[in-house]
Amino acid sequence: MKAKRTAVIALLLLGLVAGLPSCDQDTSTSQPVQSSRQPAPSPPTPPAQPQGPPPFDAPWPPPAKGGGEVALSDNLLARNYYVIMDSSGSMNEVRCSGNRTKSEAAKTALAQFARITPKDANMGLAVFDAYGIAERVPLGLENRDKFIAAVNATAPGNGTPLHDALLLGYRRLEETARRQAGYGEYHLVVITDGQAYPQNQDPTPVVAYILRQSPVVIHTIGFCIGTDHSLNQPGRTVYRAADNPRELQQGLEEVLAESPDFDLAAFK
């Protein structure tokens, strides 16, 4: 009896040992172990930076079409003042000018401007009025009497094609720059009493083009319109508001005063 019990216990122990896994047996499951660590997030894309006005980095002056040679000027360092005169229909109004029309006040101021501009500086004139838009006096010397006569001959009428007028003036300065081999000063002087009209005459695109392509300085005197004007672009253009004929004259004098060797007192 005792031997039987011993045999049964031995069999039970062998069964238990057989059911235990061996050290070489793979006890892992088929499911991959998930890591508790999350991947680092990608850095955010920085926002696009606003672009400022394009710097003047184009060749100045740009080569002429056709690549022909250009006769050089006798004075490569000459200053150049090309005037754009607004003689649109609104310039016939009597406002900000006492008992005179704005056109009459502008004619007086421009005649004085012509008289005090240094004789060794080139002057030119483009006008938009009842007769349309056109150059009335080419850039040159010894043309002050012609300049004054052309100003006095303007007749208010039609719209305010500022885009086309500025582009015309820029092209004339560009031509002169070729004759001066790019040296000298280049000023585009605009007198206007209103916003561009019709709508496609907004001067903003041509202003950006001029600033990108050249060292031309754009001066605008807003006559009887305050400072809210498309040509008033701080840091890009020079704008002066004139609310009466005297301020209009002062604005033109300041254009000349920016030249380092100009003495306004010598002309008074």
Q: Answer whether residue 196 is part of any domain.
A: yes
Is residue 9 assigned to a domain?
no
Domains of the chain: total = 1
Q: What is the pLDDT of residues 6-58, one digit of tens each?
A: 554 554 444 544 444 444 444 444 444 454 555 555 555 444 443 444 456 67
Residue 8 lies in a domain: no
Structural domain harbouring 121: 79-259
Tell me if 99 is assigned to some domain.
Answer: yes
Residue 181: inside a domain:
yes
Record the pTM.
0.77
pLDDT value, residue 8: 46
The CATH number that applies at residue 146 is: 3.40.50.410
Residue 24's pLDDT is 45
- d(C-alpha 80, C-alpha 117), whole Å: 10
Tell me the CB-side half-sphere exposure of residue 241, using CA atoms within 13 A.
11
142: number of CA atoms within 13 Å, CB side?
0
Confirm whether 247 is domain-assigned.
Answer: yes
Backbone dihedral region for residue 26 (phi beyond 0: left; psi -120 to 50: alpha; all else: beta): beta
pLDDT of residue 37: 56
Instruction: Give me the pLDDT at residue 20, please.
Output: 44
74 inside domain: no
CB 221 within 8 A of CB 248: yes
Query: What gap in Å lies between CA 72 and CA 138, rounded to an integer?
Result: 17
List, run by run, the mean pLDDT of 10-residue segments along the chain (268 residues).
50 47 45 51 46 62 82 95 98 92 97 97 98 98 98 98 98 97 97 95 96 95 95 94 96 86 48
The per-residue pLDDT for 258 is 75
Q: In sequence order, which residues have a C-beta less than 8 Å from that of residue 174 and are 6 or more positions away?
A: 61, 62, 214
Does 23 reside within a domain? Answer: no
Question: In three state form, how does the secondary structure of the chain look?
Answer: CHHHHHHHHHHHHHHHHHHCCCCCCCCCCCCCCCCCCCCCCCCCCCCCCCCCCCCCCCCCCCCCCCCCCCCCCCCCCCEEEEEEEECCHHHHCCCCCCCCCHHHHHHHHHHHHHHHCCCCCEEEEEEEECCEEEEEEEEECCCHHHHHHHHHCCCCCCCECHHHHHHHHHHHHHHHHHHCCCCCEEEEEEEECCCCECHHHCCHHHHHHHHHHCCCEEEEEEECCCCCCCCCCCCCCEEEEECCHHHHHHHHHHHHHCCCCCCHHHHC
pLDDT of residue 57: 67
Cα 250 to chain centroid distance, Å, stands at 25
